[in-house]
Amino acid sequence: MERNSTHDYIHKIDAGESERIRRFLYIVAIGTLAFVAIIAIAIATAPHWIRLISHESERQFVAPHVRWISGHFLEESNSELQAYVENLGEDLARQLGVPADLELSFYVVDGDTENAFTTLGGHIFVIDELLTVVDNENSLAMVLAHEIAHAVNRDPLTGTGRGILFQVLLSALSGGGMDAPTSASLGIEMTLKAYSRTQEEAADSMAVEALVRRYGHVGGVTQFFEELAETTNGEDIPTIMSSHPHLEDRIKAIERQVQREGWVSGDVSPYPAKIEAVISSEP
């Protein structure tokens, strides 16, 4: 009898094949969970194992990128400002006990944003507008000491490592896509941001200690945060959604530290006359 060619073939799965499929899916599920667990553990323990990377290796890795960015996007500021910030930063580094193998580099660049930031390899950038917003040396020293503390604590390296691992984990959880955030990815992101808040608070604490060693008091340690709070008019996003502590929370944390240690306030030191003249002449 001729077979009907239009008849659909239906494959029947017997008990043996069904068991093999079940075992395969079980292995895939276990492997995926194990992979996710390994990456999650790596993210959580990053501050410990990331320090196995030497400062020199980190600096060599980032050096060509810093040169390229400096050459293409950053405009150098006044040379006197550069020398002043370098000298102040080097003194604060001594107050913080920076390791001998951590080589810090300070860059004062032209810009209209009151900011400073630390990158991999101990490169610390200061936007010259910052010196206008914080109008005394103590407050500038607080910002510089904070950024130096980030370098000492390896925070840029930890953040970079966590960021890469986070992207890998998020990709795995979302099936290789990054378009639709899942509840799991949101939870992981919030965990990473909590670590960032912890790093910021630690850097603030170390910076205040450095200023006490240098000046003998805590005058000016919160000015930068107070100025920013006025600029934002209190419109910070909720703490749980921020990668940094609220400005008011940071001020209160510093005030608690000062009270706990029994430190006193004092008169801030003005900028040297030649630095003040440069700042006043900036457009």
Contacts 24+ apart (CB under 8 A), 228-233: 228/114
Say yes or no to pLDDT of 274 above 90: yes
* Residue of 129, 135, 132 whose CA lies nearest to 113: 129
The model's pLDDT over 133-190, given as tens digits with 9 standing for 90+, comes to: 899 999 999 999 999 999 999 888 877 766 655 555 555 555 554 444 444 444 444 4
Q: Provide the pLDDT for residue 15.
A: 73
The model's pLDDT over 218-268, given as tens digits with 9 standing for 90+, comes to: 999 999 988 887 776 555 544 433 445 688 889 999 999 999 999 999 999
Contacts 24+ apart (CB under 8 A), 180-189: 188/40, 188/43
- Across the range 72-87, mean pLDDT stands at 88
DSSP tag of 36: H
Q: Contact 107/124 with Cβ under 8 angstroms?
A: yes
Give the pLDDT band (50/70/90) at residue 192.
Answer: very low
Q: Provide the pLDDT for residue 184.
A: 45
Q: Provide the pLDDT for residue 102.
A: 93
Q: Which residue has the tokens 């103590």?
A: 138
**C-alpha to C-alpha distance for 212 and 142, rounded to whole angstroms:** 10
> Where do the domains of the chain lie?
17-281
Lowest mean pLDDT among 10-14, 79-83, 257-261: 10-14
Say yes or no to pLDDT of 126 above 80: yes
Q: Provide the pLDDT for residue 91.
A: 97
**C-alpha to C-alpha distance for 95 and 109, rounded to whole angstroms:** 25
Strands of the 116-119 sheet, one edge to the other: 105-109, 123-127, 116-119
Q: Provide the pLDDT for residue 169.
A: 54
Q: Provide the pLDDT for residue 188.
A: 45
Q: Provide the pLDDT for residue 166.
A: 55
The model's pLDDT over 20-75, given as tens digits with 9 standing for 90+, comes to: 878 888 887 787 777 777 767 766 676 666 677 788 888 888 888 878 877 766 78
Question: Between residues 85 and 191, which one has the greater pLDDT?
Answer: 85
Provide the greatest CA pair distance for the chain.
Answer: 108
Q: Provide the pLDDT for residue 167.
A: 59
CA end-to-end span of the chain, whole Å?
Answer: 97
Q: Which residue has the tokens 């107070």?
A: 226
Say yes or no to pLDDT of 77 above 80: yes
In 3-state terms the chain splits into helix, strand, coil percentages (rounded to 5) of 65, 5, 30
**C-alpha to C-alpha distance for 113 and 130, rounded to whole angstroms:** 7
* Residue of 112, 119, 9, 109 whose CA lies nearest to 61: 119
The model's pLDDT over 200-210, given as tens digits with 9 standing for 90+, comes to: 899 999 999 99
Q: Provide the pLDDT for residue 161.
A: 61
Side-chain-side CA neighbours of residue 91 (13 Å): 15
**C-alpha to C-alpha distance for 48 and 25, rounded to whole angstroms:** 35
For 29-61, b/e burial (b = at least 16 CB within 10 A) is eeeeeeebeebeebbeebbeebeeeebeebbee
Angle 98-104-106 (CA atoms, 0-180°, nearest 5)?
130
